[in-house]
A and B are shown apart, each in its own frame.
Chain A
């Protein structure tokens, strides 16, 4: 009950503080701008490919930074005090935040990819099938990388003493750890996507468990 309430509350917060607008409009808009301003190499880069590249390169970092900054900021301002003196489980606070950010960033990624497909369809009468397949695979990989990045964001948010330290740590560490789910793609496996997804879920769960443990032991 409290978990669902906190999850809706976080989403409401992202809506009211315009975070959703910046993500859901900003990320697809960036793809368009990048496409318009990319240097002319004589070969047109399909929109679908460009949007996939953008989502996989900055989606995870955005999610991780959002989570770290939000948790450290609320922790240092003692916003959590009013939540922690109520009959709810401490892990609900952290995990509801994780899911709210992950939902927002996943929707933004899917919107960006869909925009790429639509534009390619309008310009070329459809994106090449190979690119479309690659894009769907890339999205699956991106989503699992984003889950890992978000978990790193939560963990660093819980342990970091200040917003600045948190942001530095998450940009250094978040990106490095989030590439681990990519490893099956570098091995000679015919279909690495399921392994990537499993690895992403496992690493995220471990990181979140550590974050929840530390948050529940934390004194405010």
Chain B
């Protein structure tokens, strides 16, 4: 990859919009994904996630803006991009008459896998997605989860540089979800760029090295999970874990700088602090006060917002705008 490509990103969206008659599905979307990044794309239903993905893989044309993948412009250099690309649609569908082997053989050949390599590649990808015993079964006889895994297998046949997955974890049982997440992580480590959308925020949190939040066709925020959290000061809370609870902890509510106390679980307190006062002084007073109240402190940590909270805040912010 050339320096300019590295500098600009492997996938570069610049002001991409998509209009379906009166509906603006994507509005001036811009972002960059570097080579080897695992980009988690989240947003509520109808936010425009699938539209973004379909523009990326060349199934839809944008109304405005430019898109470059691996230095090639879409859709003008679609064929070059398609050589780099593996794609798993949201609802993957195959012709009813196909067996697993037949489907993988056809898609492998169409993706340019050489005749003498196809046999090994089919075995490898089926092993990778944990479907080794269904090779000669008809696809219609597979469960929806297995079909989803087969969809992933066909996208990996030609060792793509960019893997685009639309809701890859939907409809999978917990074990399969774990397997697929591991596959995505391993691909990221080996240098494959992965772009995936998901509704399951914990999965995005587990896998993605960078996250994009989309709402109503607009990118709300992009960054690592830590960047998203730090860029959005949700609240000044501390979690206190007690090794001994005297039951008198409610009295800390009267401390200056404390706006409330909750007990979300046994021996655990969530203390809300007033951001206007000196946080360090308030925490110092809080520790002293709890000790005076015969509560023994095991740990005290600033409460970090979860991805769910960050996501909801960004989505609500977009709705209020």
Residues on A lying within 8 angstroms of B by beta carbon are: 2, 5-6, 9, 12-13, 16-17, 74, 77-79, 81-88, 219-220
Contact = CB atoms under 8 A, between A and B. Distances in A.
Given A5-B106, A9-B106, A81-B59, A17 B83 contact: no
B102 A12 contact: yes
A17 B97 contact: yes
Interface of A is mostly: helix
7 contacts: A13-B98, A77-B93, A78-B89, A87-B80, A88-B110, A219-B60, A220-B54
Interface of B: 54, 57-61, 79-80, 82-83, 85, 87, 89, 91-98, 102, 106-107, 109-112, 154
Nearest to A88: B110
A83 B59 contact: no
Nearest to B20: A219
A13 B60 contact: no
A220 B59 contact: yes
A77 B80 CA distance: 26
Contacts of B94: 79, 82
Contact of B154 (A77, A78, A82, A87): A82
B26 to A, nearest CB: 14
Given A13-B98, A79-B94, 19 more contacts: A5-B106, A9-B106, A12-B102, A13-B95, A13-B97, A16-B97, A74-B95, A79-B95, A81-B59, A81-B87, A81-B93, A83-B110, A85-B59, A85-B82, A85-B85, A85-B87, A86-B111, A88-B110, A219-B61
Given A82-B107, A219-B59, A87 B83 contact: yes
Nearest to B166: A81
Contacts of B54: 219-220
Contacts of A83: 110
B96 A78 contact: no
Contacts of B58: 84-85
A85 B57 contact: yes
Nearest to A78: B93
A13 B57 CA distance: 26
Contact of A86 (B60, B92, B98, B110): B110
A84 B111 CA distance: 11
Nearest to B106: A9
Nearest to A84: B59
A78 B91 contact: yes
Nearest to B80: A87
A11 to B, nearest CB: 11
CB-CB nearest 6 A-B residue pairs:
A16-B97, A17-B97, A87-B82, A220-B59, A85-B87, A77-B93
Nearest to A16: B97
